[in-house]
Structure 1
Amino acid sequence: MYQINKGINRPIEFKGLKAQYIWYLGGGLVSLLVLFAILYLVGCPVYGCVLIIGALGSALFYQVFKLSHRYGEHGLMKRGAKRYLPDYLKFQTRRLFYEKR
């Protein structure tokens, strides 16, 4: 059995994926399943479907693990929220707030 929770007040982690990245990977896999069904119903050969879904699945795993390791638990949300700051509040460093007067 796989251990999912690491303890109290710690984020969910599964096989190296942290927090919301588990949901991103799950959503991506469900969309790949739907894409496989669509390709099969359209008439694409089964081996072609498997090849396309395998390549896209590998790219999905690579990208989600890359994001998880690069941004961590909350980093991707912070990166996305940074776009909504007004221009006059944007700053590149926090040094101003850490300096003592």
Structure 2
Amino acid sequence: MLEINKGIGKPVELKGLKGNYLYLAVGIVFCSLLLALILYGLRANTYLITVVVLTITLGGVWYCMRMSAKHGVWGLTKQEATHSQPKAIIFSSAKPFAQLRETKRPSHRKGTAPTGNRK
């Protein structure tokens, strides 16, 4: 008997493009088609439009396939996370560290139970 939910939990994959790289490649193709329409509307040379659009499309899809093969499904997400982290955290004063030591400790001693809410 075949399993009905065979692909649940697996990332989307098409011809080696996995996960977010597939969506990125589709976006590149869509944007290059829009670029072709805009350039054609501006009455540019048809052969030049064809060469430019094919170069952008094939180069973009090739780049997506290469990155998908190199980094896997979550590579794009990891790359975004890496770029959003600061390279260094610089403190100009010691005030944040001084506040760490100012934590209030319980006032009761060992063996005695705390006595309700004090105000």
TM-score range, shorter chain: 0.7 to 0.9
Query: How many residues align structurally?
Result: 83
Residue 41 of structure 2 corresponds to 41
The alpha carbon displacement at 1:34 in A equals 0.8
Following the alignment from structure 1 to structure 2, what is the Cα–Cα distance between the partners of residues 84 and 53?
31
TM-score by length of 1: 0.73
Q: Percent identity?
A: 29
Alignment of 1:1-101 (within 5 A): 7-86=7-86, 87=88
**TM-score where L is the length of structure 2:** 0.63
CA-atom RMSD, angstroms? 1.6
Checking the alignment, whether the CA contact within 8 Å between 2:20 and 2:76 is kept in structure 1 is no
Ranges in structure 1 where 5+ consecutive residues have no aligned partner:
1-5, 89-101
Which amino acid letter does the alignment assign opposite residue 26 of structure 1? Answer: V
Deviation at 1:41? 1.1
User: Whose helix proportion is higher, 1 or 2?
Assistant: 1
